[in-house]
Structure 1
């Protein structure tokens, strides 16, 4: 687990970052979730209206990915990864989503080093949004 003050700062920053990304993409607040536990993760619903919906997911280990929603209990099927940087500006994430929706391939998955202090610093600008 993370130290309490570090986890609180990370949660505040992630909340603001997810909100900024969601606004950039046009996802309503109720279509977003995030969690800070042993890892930090976020989820944004990308309703498509044809067949299975897409979701935009973020983790503190791999950054942003687009995956196909599956039935509960099944693993989502990842279709594209954004890659580095771990915390890109919201317009970059929105362009990634638009490219995936248009059929463009994402970059290969890149594992990002697990540096929680660096992650908290990158998310600090989103506290209070």
Structure 2
């Protein structure tokens, strides 16, 4: 039996769908850049204790994996405040735990 090959982009979109689902949001909060390195941006409604006046986003790229960022002002590029580290595509519950730690300000790491 021949199984169809899943295109890497399709597999990554499926992964993003799992992560956004675990975060309780949908893919509509996410943008994907197919250039090299492939990257993704997930807009969140959260505010973090150390950055109460800034929008928050999760960023992903194929070289570094997940990062958390804040946006100083609308339209400004996001500023990375923490990296998850480890596997670039960890299980979605690990991404959720990373964000939960940032919400309680107990896992902030230097960018």
Which of the five TM-score ranges fits, normalised by the shorter chain? 0.7 to 0.9
Q: Which residue does 1:100 correspond to in 2?
A: 102
Provide the aligned length of Structure 1 versus Structure 2: 101
Match status 1:81 vs 2:83: yes
Of 9, 26, 29, 2:27 maps to: 29
TM-superposition CA deviations, 1:90-120 (whole Å, max 9, x none): 00111001111111224566xxxxxxxxxxx
| Distance in 2 between residues matched to 1:67 and 1:26, nearest whole Å | 19
Alignment gaps of 5+ in structure 2: 1-5
**More relative contact order in 1 or in 2 (CA 8 Å, sep 6+)?**
1
Secondary structure of 1:87 counterpart: coil
Moved over 3 A (4+): 106-109
The structure where helix makes up a greater share of residues is 1
Match status 1:64 vs 2:62: no
Q: CA RMSD in A?
A: 1.9
Tell me if the contact between 1:21 and 1:93 (Cα under 8 Å) persists in the aligned partners: yes
Secondary structure of 2:16 counterpart: helix
Q: Which residue does 1:115 correspond to in 2?
A: none
Normalised TM-score (structure 2): 0.80
Normalised TM-score (structure 1): 0.70
Alignment gaps of 5+ in structure 1: 1-7, 110-129
TM-superposition CA deviations, 1:33-92 (whole Å, max 9, x none): 1122221111111112652210001000110000002432x3311111000111100001
